Amino acid sequence: MRLRFWSDARHKFELPLEVEDESADFPDPQESPLCDLSLFDGLMLATFGGASEPHQLIVFGYIKLLQWKPAEVFEELSHESLKTLMARLERDLQDFFAPHDWIVRESLKKLKELVQNGTGVGATLLRDNYTSKAALGTRSYSAKCRQNITNWWVSVERRVKSDLAKKGGAF
């Protein structure tokens, strides 16, 4: 399992720790930092509850939240169904965000319903969404597919920022 989340953005949700608490004890470095859970919950709901395609949301989860590279998503996940990827993404995010895994569960509810509702969306492989016309296995094919993956997560990010701006929020 690869969990490289928030290497550069985690500070946005952390509350500053005081050097000492009231009893002059220093904070335990093993304790996770305090987070603004309402901000985290709002961002997760805005992201995964919005109007983006399931394959785009799944890719966004892997690239922006779990810090995978587009090439890694292409190489390791292309052959998986969206239903399988959804379950895996949910597990990985819940593991990472424990003890706040309930936020992940609630945020992913709409996406989970989309890929498990029996309409065939869940059976679709991630690679079925690629738009490359090049021959499978060629450099041109893999480059175009990696570009598709990048376009998908950027599309989700733009939509979330736009949605939040309309509501008066900022990211």
pLDDT in tens, 80-100: 999 999 999 999 999 988 888
- Cα(158)–Cα(155) distance, rounded to whole angstroms? 5
Residues 6+ apart with CB under 8 A from 53: 129, 152
Is pTM beyond 0.75 here?
A: yes
Q: Please report how many Cα atoms fall inside a 13 Å half-sphere around the Cα of residue 73, on the Cβ side.
A: 34
Asked if residue 120 lies in contact with residue 142, where contact means CB atoms within 8 angstroms, the answer is: no
| pLDDT tens by residue, 119-156 | 778 888 999 999 988 888 899 999 999 999 999 999 99
Q: What is the pLDDT of residue 2?
A: 42
- Cα(83)–Cα(117) distance, rounded to whole angstroms? 10
- Cα(146)–Cα(91) distance, rounded to whole angstroms? 24
The 3-state secondary structure of 112-162, one letter per residue: HHHHHCCCCCCCCEHHHHCCCCCCCCCHHHHHHHHHHHHHHHHHHHHHHHH
Report, in angstroms and rounded to the nearest whole number, the Rg of the chain calculated over CA atoms: 18
